[in-house]
Structures are given as structure tokens and as C-alpha cells.
Structure 1
Amino acid sequence: MNINWGKIYTKYAGLWVAMKDDEKTVIGSGKTAKEALKKAQEKGFRNPLLNYVPKKLVHFAGAN
């Protein structure tokens, strides 16, 4: 599955996000994982996916 995180990165750079299982829908965010989790749980989501969205993207191209 290919997921475009561009919109998520633009809006949530530097924050933790709680997401639905589809890995596209943000259901809570905050400066800490605990804060993002709490916001998601307040909306009725018990075990969301938690991800940190970096402030700056670093591109890497590997070579063999």
C-alpha cells in the first residue's frame, strides 16, 4: 500500500500523531505521544497507531 504523507507532514511537522489503522486519518496530535494518544482516546479510539512526524525530512539514496 502506498500512502502519501505529504499533507500530514505539512500540517503536523514536529508533532506526534495518532492515526486510524488506515495510516491516513489523523485522530489526535500533540507535542508528546501521550498527548496524541489521550486526544484519540477521548474520541473513542482505544489503540491508535502513534507516529512522530519529523520537523525536517532527510532524503537518503542508498548504493550497493
Structure 2
Amino acid sequence: MAIDWTKIYKKYRGFWVALKDDRMTVVASGKTVREVLNQSKKKGFSKPILFRVPEQIAPYVGFLK
């Protein structure tokens, strides 16, 4: 199943984000992993999914042989 992170990209471009297990809900954001992890823990999320949102989206097309 594909996940649409368009809204996350537009709002958090260039930042680290912590996501809930649903992979759609941002629980914290910041410039460093440590900052985001600390914010997440304060909100009760001890093991969030950490992801750095890229500055630009680079298209990629791959294939399997």
C-alpha cells in the first residue's frame, strides 16, 4: 500500500520528523534527531518512526531483473 507524504513534505521539508505507527501522524519535528526523539518521549512515544524529510524530491525509477 502506498503512503502519500505530500502534506508532510510540504510542511516539514528539511526537518526530522517522528511518526506514529500509522506512518502518517507527525508527533514531533525538529532540526536534529535528538531534539525530535526528546519531544516524542515527552509526548509518550518512546519508539517513534524517525524520518528526515528531504529538501527536494528526486524522482527515481527502478526495476528488478
Residues of 2 paired with 1:18 and 1:47: CA distance? 9
5+ unaligned residues in a row in structure 2: which ranges?
Answer: none
User: What is the percent sequence identity of the aligned residues?
Assistant: 48
Residues of 2 paired with 1:61 and 1:50: CA distance? 24
Counterpart for residue 47 of structure 2 = 47
Give aligned pairs, total. Answer: 64
Task: Give the 4+ runs in structure 1 shifted more than 3 A.
Answer: none
Residues of 2 paired with 1:55 and 1:8: CA distance? 12
TM value normalised by structure 1 = 0.91
Residues of 2 paired with 1:51 and 1:62: CA distance? 22
Residues of 2 paired with 1:2 and 1:58: CA distance? 17
Counterpart for residue 33 of structure 2 = 33
Cα offset, 1:60, TM superposition: 1.7
Cα offset, 1:62, TM superposition: 3.6
Residues of 2 paired with 1:53 and 1:38: CA distance? 18
5+ unaligned residues in a row in structure 1: which ranges?
Answer: none
